[in-house]
Amino acid sequence: MAHAAPRSRAAIEPSGTTDVFSARAHMAAKVVIPVLLGLVYGYWAAANRRDAGPITGWNLLFGFLTGLVFAVVLMALLALAPKLPREVHAVTWGAFSGMAVGFLFSQAGGSVLRSAALGLGVTAGVTLIMFYRLYTHEPD
């Protein structure tokens, strides 16, 4: 009968996460991903605002500025939020998500009260999900 060959403990236990991309690719992604998400968000806000009307210069400017603000705030949040305590970290992501969704809804013609209610609902949901994730994945 055959037996398994003995192995060292280092060969059995995983040594951490596998990093497929280089440090340069990670640095580029910290800028490229928020910029692309900002462009999508700006286009979405501008499309909601014009409501199937003609594309004007003011509409393009609105979309560009909205996307720029979204990208800058997202970059700041990605840089600063991990340094915060988990409760504040979760609340910041929830507030960012709620404000983003509420603003998009208001540009689509929703009332202020419905936009605020939707934003608060998204804020509560994202905050709970982020708190759970941060609480269960905190380092030892």
Helix (H) or strand (E) holding 115: helix 112-136
Residues 71-114 pLDDT 10s = 999 999 999 998 999 899 999 999 999 999 999 999 998 899 99
- pTM score: 0.79
Asked if residue 134 and residue 113 are part of one domain, the reply reads yes
Quick check: is 11 in a domain? no
Quick check: is 67 in a domain? yes
> Domain range holding 60?
25-71
Asked if residue 93 and residue 139 are part of one domain, the reply reads yes
Total structural domains within the chain: 2
Quick check: is 3 in a domain? no
| Residue 55 tokens, joined | 């594309």
CA torsion, ordered 11, 12, 18, 23, to nearest 10 deg = -40
**Pairwise CA distance, residues 108 & 51, whole Å:** 7
**Radius of gyration for the chain, computed over Cα atoms and rounded to the nearest angstrom:** 22
